[in-house]
Every structure is written in C-alpha cells, then in structure tokens.
Amino acid sequence: MRPFNIMIVDDSKFMRESIINLLKTEQDMNIAAEASNGLEAINTLKSSTIPIDVIIMDIEMPIMDGAEATKVIMKEKPTSIILLSALTREHKKTITALLNGAFDFIQKPGGKSITFDIDKVKKDLIEKIRFSAIANLTQRFGKKKEFEAAKRKISRYYDLVLIGTSTGGPGTLAKIFKIMPASFDIPIAVVQHIKEGYSKSLAEGLNSASALDISEVDGFTNIVNGKVYIAKAGYHLEFCATGTQLKLTNSEFRNGFRPSVDVLFESALANFKGKILAVVLTGMGNDGAAGAAKLYNAGHTVIIQDENTSVVWGMPRVIYEAGTYHA
C-alpha cells in the first residue's frame, strides 16, 4: 500500500515546516504538496499529478480562508480535510468548514502564536490523518421532494426522533436538515460529539440553513413538536422523568464522551412516552450501540447510516454487526 499523500495549507511557512517535521518520520505518510492559502490549495489540488488523500488546513488565511476553501473543495474535488487552526472565541469559520464537509479539526495548542509546541497534537493529528485518509466522502442524500414520503411515514409511526453522530456528523446533519421541510412535526434530539464551546455555533449554523427550528439545549427545556434540540458540548442530554422535558447533566463520561449517545437513548427509553425512531450516523467508536440495542429490544425502531454514505463507518458498523437495527 502506498503512503498517504498529504497537502499542508497554512499561510505561515514556519507552521508548514513544523507539520512536515512532525510527520516525516511516519512511513505511511508523504508530504505531497504545500499551499499558503485556500485558493492556492484548490489550484494545487486540481493540478496535482498525484492523488491527494488528506489536506491539513488552517482556517484564518489571506486571499481565501479555510472555511471557503473547504466548501469549494468538497463541491469540486471531495478530499478529506483536517482543520488545524487557532480558533476565535466564536468558532464560526470552523463550524462553517465542518458543515461544509471537513473531516475533523484540531486546535493549535498555543492559539494564535506561531511558537506553539506542535508535538502536543502529534498523536491526535496522526490518528486523524489515518482515519481520514480512508474515509468515504461520497455522501449521497435525497432531495426535498424525495423526503416527503419519508416524512409522512415518520409522522405516522413515531413520536420522537433521536440522532447520534460523531466524526463527519456536522456535514451530514447539515445535508439532512437542509432537505427537511418546516412541516416536519416531530421533536428531534441530537447528540453530536464536538469540543466544548462549539455546540452553540453548530446549532446556529444548522439553523441558518434549515427550515426547522434548531437550537442548543442550555438547561431544562420543554419539548415542542417540530423543533430540533442539539446537546450542549460537555454535558449529557437526558429526558426528565416526565418525558416532556430535556435536561443537561454532568455525570461521568460514557464511552469517553459527554454528551453520550447511549445516555440520550437510554434516558428516552426510560422516560419518553411514545414510539421512538433512533438514528445513528457517521462516527468513530461505539457510542450509541448499547442504547440502540435497548431501544431495539424494547420494540422501538433503530436505523443506521450505511457504509457508502458514512464519512467513518464506525458507530453504525458496531450496531450493524450486533444486528440491533432495522433494514
């Protein structure tokens, strides 16, 4: 198997050299190209005589930033993109890039300083490169017209939709919510694995491109039909005993995550009065598998994203192998 070909995109030459030095000892990785801004990255990607498997890209760059470049690349020549950036407090551009299809992101340990210790993120970066290099980026989703039949079926048979996702989730959720009509009249609760401080911007980004009312849960919240509730990063999202409210808890991490898909699924099973449709989308790991099995065995419906459309077929695969889903 040939090494993964990597392009590094950063307006700082120092940063590009630091990343090269970080990766040069990895035998399965080859630095195939460099670029100093998003536009140069697009042109380099198009003109490259060898296939680029992974792009490591900064966000804040002159001429064209990483968020806009991600949008163009994912439309014209889909390629796995890992964002490596010093982030502003609002994180708007990072969330935009994730919604546009970036694989994942890593925050520079030293913020905007170019003297940070890149070795602090070495393990995380290398792991993400290897996962993203084999990720399937040919995601396919229906159009609004095609969703109408599914909407009528869901409205007829279910009272609640639960969604769990991780790596690749923001872009996948954006595609799904974009085609869902305002007439969709069932509440949706979502757990997306994401760093603390980013879930509000994620909810706002999803809301701005959807006919649905999408918001981050930031305390006790009454469930309203037709609204989408995004778990606040750093907290579990759970149903209250009444089954008509959502709450945030800071109990222990589950499967390494808080919020956890399993916690959401299990609390819905214990407290929500009605039929549940649980959906597990793209993501690494096994979060959601235990909760999905309990919902399945209790007679609720579990569906999973298929391998062909998943960015990472990890969470859905575990459920597929257990057989606790509905075809």
CA angle (115, 59, 166) in 5-degree steps: 105
Query: In whole angstroms, how far apart are CA 240 and each of 125, 220, 295, 319?
Result: 38, 9, 17, 26
HSE-up (13 A, CA, CB side) for residue 196: 6
Instruction: Reply yes or no on whether 166 is catalytic.
Output: yes
Instruction: Reply yes or no on whether 287 is catalytic.
Output: yes
Q: Is the dihedral of CA 130, 131, 132, 138 positive or negative?
A: positive
Residue that has been written with the tokens 């551009």 in this structure: 93
> Partners of 195 in the beta sheet?
none
Q: Which amino acid is at 307?
A: E
3-state secondary structure of 265: helix
Where on the phi/psi map is residue 26: left (φ > 0), alpha (ψ -120 to 50), or beta? beta
CB-based contacts of 137: which residues, under 8 Å, 6+ apart? 74, 78, 79, 80, 101, 311
Please check whether residue 287 is in contact with residue 193, taking contact to mean a CB–CB distance below 8 angstroms. yes
From 166, 199, 260, 267, the catalytic residue: 166
From 36, 287, 300, 310, the catalytic residue: 287
From 53, 104, 193, 262, the catalytic residue: 193
CA angle (231, 65, 175) in 5-degree steps: 40
CB-based contacts of 134: which residues, under 8 Å, 6+ apart? none
Instruction: Reply yes or no on whether 236 is catalytic.
Output: no
- Could you give the residue numbers annotated as active site? 166, 193, 287
